[in-house]
Structure 1
Amino acid sequence: MAHLMMIESWVGASGNLLPPLLQLLGHKYTFVTRKPEHYQSAHSTEKHPVLGYADSVLVTETNDIPGLIEFLKPYRFDGVITVCDYYIEVAREVAKAFNLPCPFPAEVKTVRQKHLMRQALDRAGLSNPNYRLANSWTEAEEAAAAIGYPLVLKPVDLASSAFVSLIQNGKELQGAYQALEAFPLNFRDQQRDCTYLLEEYMNGEEVSVESVSYYGETAILGITDKSVTGTPYFIENGHMFPAKLSDETRIAVTQFVRDALKAAGFDHGIAHTEVKLTAEGPRIVEINPRTAGNYIVELIQRVTGIDLLQAFVDLSLGMEPVLAAKDCGIASAAVMFLVPPRSGTLTRTQGIESLESDEHVVRYKIENCTGKFIETPIDNACYLGHVVTEDAVGLNARLYAEKALDRLILSFDT
């Protein structure tokens, strides 16, 4: 049995899946957090798994790396882990200080910071979208003039597509710029890097490539599709594994991602690399140095039998993951998320009972939000539930999930 240090977590997806997995594997963990109440859902009274499964909970300031290291000196652990983007660099520094394994490469900042990743691809001679960096409104205007509309404005250091906006004109640019200017701290109260990344809008389907690297050797597990909603925001509302692609496209995307990971110095850990399939070829959207969120790890396991979260745990303990795919009798698996169409007080959710009788729905979770005010959706934190489906014979799992969600009707107080 190993004893891991878990520094913070996502509230959803992997944050729910990792704690019971650690228990199943016979490991225990100490959860280190600055704010236990962050993990209490406004829509549920249940204790969050990261707190419920923890061997112990240490409350301290996790945003102060030197202070955190000093606080942890009396404790002994076998490895360091986190599934939350905002604490990946923290986990890496803590692991380095105590000479412990962790599932992140030494150069993890290069992929965590979106502009550093773009610059790394430039140095390697890999194709990027046309992009500019800005540190003021004047520079943002100049960058937009050089790129042209439509374009995408991104914060360089946020996650979950937060504040990533499709911009069609100068007025929209100013609105998006001002929204970020009014957000100097991220969602975990960390000081933001207020550099703005402006990129040309890339037309094409978006997919993600899931990979595992162990000291320089990279294995590609497959490609997942993605759909988004909520324009001008980019809210992910569904995924299917494997993506429905031609062999030619699959080979091209896989090789491009291998080259991109090498260029960014990503030689150890799990990567969830998002790619746009443009007319000019594949282009990197971003590289996430962690397991995929949004239950993609579950989809992969249902189809291949490979548990990416277990591989993540192995890496956090300095062990080489076993990545042997097997025939699970499932051709494709999908997840679709219930994204509220608007803000307002939710008065009724109809159609949930239809999910029980759907032969393709393997599980679902719909939050009980009746009577609660729902904010306008702007990022992936807006979900009111999800549905997971399987197709044993083909690549129709996404279609089944979409049809299942279409039967749900949300009513709001006018």
Structure 2
Amino acid sequence: MAHILMIESWVGASGNLLPPLLKSMGHTYTFVTRKPGHYDSGFGTEKHPVLRYADAVLVTETNDCEGLIEFLRPYHFDGVITVCDYYIEIVREVAKAFHLPSPFPDEVKTVRQKHLMRQALDRADLANPNYRLAHSWEEVEQAANEIGYPLVVKPVDLASSAFVSLIQSAKELQKAYDALEAFPLNFRDQERESTYLLEAYMSGEEVSVESVSYNGETTIIGITDKSITGTPYFIENGHMFPAKLEEGMYEDVTTFVRNALQAVGFDHGIAHTEVKLTVDGPRIVEINPRTAGNYIVELIERVTGIDLLQAFVELSLGIKPALARKDSGIMSAAALFLVPPQCGTITHVQGIESLASDEHIARYKMEDFIGKSVETPIDNACYLGHVITQDTEGHNARHYGEEALKRIILGFDPIKE
């Protein structure tokens, strides 16, 4: 049995799955956070799993890496972990300071920061979309003129598609720039990197490649599909594993991703690599040095028997993960998310009762949102619930989930935006 240091967490998805998994594996953990209240739910009173399952909860400033290291010196741990993107680099530094294993590569900053990733792909002569970096409105405007519309504007160090916008005009570009300028700190009160990444819009289906690397050896687990809603924003509203691809596409995509991981120095950890299937071939959207969110790890386990979150824990302890596939009898599994269609106060809902009797739904969760006000959805933090579906015969799991969510109708008392 090991005792692990967990530094912050996502509130949803993996943040809910990791704590009970650690307990089931016989491990304990200390959770360190700067703000326990961040894990309170706006839709209920139940204590969040990261707090509920912890052996101890330590409160200190987790955004101050040097101060955090000094704070932790009296304690003993066997490994360091986080599932929250905003603390990956801090976890790596803490692990180095105490000579502990972690589930991240040494070059994790190159992976985490989108502009450094693009530059690494350039150095390796791997195809990138046409892109520019900018640090002021004048440079942003010039970069847009050089790339042409449509294009995508990205902050280089945020997560969950936050402030990633599809831009069709100079007016939309100004709006996106102003929104980011008014957001100097990220969602965990860390100062943002001021670089703007502008990329030519890549048309085509988007998928993600899930992989595990241990001491330089990379194993591809499979490819997950993705659907997007909320234009001009990029809100993920569904995933299915495995993705249904044209013949020969699997090899093309996975080979390209292997080369990209090598280019950025990804030799240890779990990667969730997002890829656009363009007419010119696969192109990297971004590389996430962690398990996939949005319950993709659960979909993979349902189909293959491989628990990527367990592999993530094993990597955090310096253990080589076991990645043998098992015949689960399930051909595809999907996660579909309930995204509010507008802002306002939710006054009533119908259709949730139909989920319990749906034979294709493995499980579902809906928040207690009646009477709650929701903002206009702009990123993945907007979800009101989700369904997990599965298909024992083919690739219909996504279809089953989409049909289930169509039955859920929300009523609103609109508010002025």
Q: Fold conserved (TM > 0.5)?
A: yes
Coarse TM-score class (shorter-chain normalised): over 0.9
Q: Unaligned 5+ residue runs, structure 2?
A: none
Within 5 Å, give how 1:55-74 maps onto structure 2. Answer: 55-74=55-74
1:247 to partner: Cα distance: 3.3
> Are residue 203 (structure 1) and residue 200 (structure 2) matched?
no
- CA deviation profile, 1:17-44 (whole Å, cap 9, x unmatched): 0000000000000000000000001111
1:76 to partner: Cα distance: 0.1
SS at match of 1:309: helix
1:271 to partner: Cα distance: 0.1
Letter in 2 for 1:374: V
Within 5 Å, give how 1:110-121 maps onto structure 2. Answer: 110-121=110-121
Letter in 2 for 1:207: V
1:368 to partner: Cα distance: 1.1
- State the alpha-carbon separation in 2 of the partners of residues 408 and 150 from structure 1: 34
- CA deviation profile, 1:332-389 (whole Å, cap 9, x unmatched): 0001000000000000111001001100001000111111111110000000000000
Match of 2:250 in 1: 250
Letter in 2 for 1:311: A
Match of 1:398 in 2: 398
- State the alpha-carbon separation in 2 of the partners of residues 252 and 100 from structure 1: 36
Match of 1:84 in 2: 84
Letter in 2 for 1:344: G
- State the alpha-carbon separation in 1 of the partners of residues 246 and 375 from structure 2: 39
> Are residue 279 (structure 1) and residue 279 (structure 2) matched?
yes
- State the alpha-carbon separation in 2 of the partners of residues 349 and 119 from structure 1: 48
Match of 1:345 in 2: 345
Match of 2:4 in 1: 4
Letter in 1 for 2:166: L
- State the alpha-carbon separation in 1 of the partners of residues 407 and 284 from structure 2: 35
Match of 1:46 in 2: 46
SS at match of 2:29: strand
- State the alpha-carbon separation in 2 of the partners of residues 362 and 191 from structure 1: 41
> Are residue 408 (structure 1) and residue 408 (structure 2) matched?
yes
SS at match of 2:355: helix
Match of 1:385 in 2: 385
Match of 1:371 in 2: 371
- State the alpha-carbon separation in 1 of the partners of residues 51 and 412 from structure 2: 33
- State the alpha-carbon separation in 1 of the partners of residues 175 and 278 from structure 2: 28
- State the alpha-carbon separation in 1 of the partners of residues 402 and 284 from structure 2: 27
Within 5 Å, give how 1:22-171 maps onto structure 2. Answer: 22-171=22-171
Letter in 1 for 2:179: A
1:89 to partner: Cα distance: 0.2
- State the alpha-carbon separation in 2 of the partners of residues 168 and 111 from structure 1: 28
Letter in 1 for 2:281: G
- State the alpha-carbon separation in 2 of the partners of residues 27 and 191 from structure 1: 34
Runs of 4+ in 1 over 3 A off after TM superposition: none
SS at match of 2:248: helix
1:133 to partner: Cα distance: 0.3
Letter in 1 for 2:339: V
SS at match of 1:282: strand
Letter in 2 for 1:84: C
- State the alpha-carbon separation in 2 of the partners of residues 224 and 310 from structure 1: 19
- State the alpha-carbon separation in 2 of the partners of residues 282 and 95 from structure 1: 34
- State the alpha-carbon separation in 1 of the partners of residues 88 and 389 from structure 2: 31
Match of 1:183 in 2: 183
Letter in 1 for 2:79: G
Letter in 2 for 1:249: M
- CA deviation profile, 1:125-180 (whole Å, cap 9, x unmatched): 00000000000000000000000000000000000000000000000000000000
Within 5 Å, give how 1:309-328 maps onto structure 2. Answer: 309-328=309-328
- State the alpha-carbon separation in 2 of the partners of residues 247 and 268 from structure 1: 30
Letter in 2 for 1:362: A
- CA deviation profile, 1:209-258 (whole Å, cap 9, x unmatched): 00000010000000000000000000000000000012311100000000
SS at match of 1:90: helix
- State the alpha-carbon separation in 2 of the partners of residues 246 and 314 from structure 1: 34
- State the alpha-carbon separation in 1 of the partners of residues 349 and 196 from structure 2: 39
- State the alpha-carbon separation in 1 of the partners of residues 12 and 59 from structure 2: 20
- State the alpha-carbon separation in 1 of the partners of residues 389 and 260 from structure 2: 32
- State the alpha-carbon separation in 2 of the partners of residues 194 and 350 from structure 1: 44
- State the alpha-carbon separation in 2 of the partners of residues 24 and 142 from structure 1: 54
Question: What number of residue pairs does the alignment pair up?
Answer: 414
- State the alpha-carbon separation in 2 of the partners of residues 150 and 41 from structure 1: 37
Letter in 1 for 2:147: I
- State the alpha-carbon separation in 2 of the partners of residues 75 and 16 from structure 1: 25
TM-score normalised by L of structure 2: 0.99
Match of 1:297 in 2: 297
SS at match of 1:356: coil
SS at match of 2:249: helix
Letter in 1 for 2:356: E
1:413 to partner: Cα distance: 1.1
- State the alpha-carbon separation in 1 of the partners of residues 78 and 304 from structure 2: 29
